[in-house]
Amino acid sequence: MSNARLSEPAVSGDTDSQDPGWATRPLHTEAEIEARVDALADAIAARLGDEFVIVSILNGAFLFTADLVRALGRRGCRPRVEFITLKSYGDDLKTSGDVRLVGVLPDRLDGLSVLLVDDILDSGRTLMTATSLLEDRGAASVSTCVLLDKPAGREVPVSPDFMGFSIGDVFVVGYGIDYAEQYRYLPYLGYVEATGGDPV
């Protein structure tokens, strides 16, 4: 994954007219995402039962969390939903390595099972930090669920309990995931690519 700053990439595989060097390419379709969310909901319901707390890491996981909560509800689950914000990405394409809590943690977690939901497991620092914070808050157990796992970026030893898709060392946008706060609206998952065909 490149360390350089980019101009905004184009959408749906078209070259940006202002910067012809970059474009976005499809990675996973809407139908593939929907099917995978349903499979995750089956696995989560089987392991965690009907009642638990979902803690979603904003902002990138908001669409994934919304779809996952609805899928769990269709399976009879009644999760309480909370949100936290942790900052590790800036406008650059690499994690800063410095993970910080923004705002406050959820309360009333003592003795409860928690499902921590994030968009991408990359370096592992965000998931490790969030898990530790929730355990310190009194959660009886913290399971982790990520939409995307990028093993090539791992810097600390952490693995998700539930995973949507494993991806290579590419910079992903769409389905709630942004580049510099853009492209969250894309209904599919794509990746930023140099128009010569090389992933970023």
CATH label of the domain that carries residue 152 = 3.40.50.2020
Is residue 62 included in any domain, yes or no?
yes
Cβ 119 vs Cβ 61: under 8 Å: yes
pLDDT at residue 196, as a whole number? 59
Is residue 143 included in any domain, yes or no?
yes
Of 48, 60, 107, nearest to 85 (Cα)? Answer: 60
196 Cβ partners below 8 Å, 6+ apart?
none
Q: Quote the tokens at residue 61.
A: 């996981």
pTM: 0.85
pLDDT at residue 36, as a whole number? 98
pLDDT at residue 18, as a whole number? 37
Q: Please give the positions annotated as active site.
A: 122
- Counted domains in the chain: 1
Per-10-residue mean pLDDT, the chain, length 200: 38 42 87 98 98 96 98 98 83 64 92 97 94 96 98 95 96 92 93 68
Residues of the domain holding 144: 29-168
pLDDT at residue 99, as a whole number? 87
What distance, in Å, lies between the first and last C-alpha atoms of the chain?
Answer: 5
Is residue 7 included in any domain, yes or no?
no
Is residue 45 included in any domain, yes or no?
yes
Is residue 104 included in any domain, yes or no?
yes
Is residue 12 included in any domain, yes or no?
no
> Strands of 22-28's sheet, edge to edge?
22-28, 189-194, 172-173
pLDDT at residue 88, as a whole number? 67
Is residue 2 included in any domain, yes or no?
no
pLDDT at residue 15, as a whole number? 37
User: From the CB of residue 88, how many other CB atoms can be counted at a distance below 10 Å?
Assistant: 17
pLDDT at residue 193, as a whole number? 80
pLDDT at residue 87, as a whole number? 81
* Preceding peptide of 3 cis, ω within 30°: no
47 Cβ partners below 8 Å, 6+ apart?
143, 161
Is residue 196 included in any domain, yes or no?
no
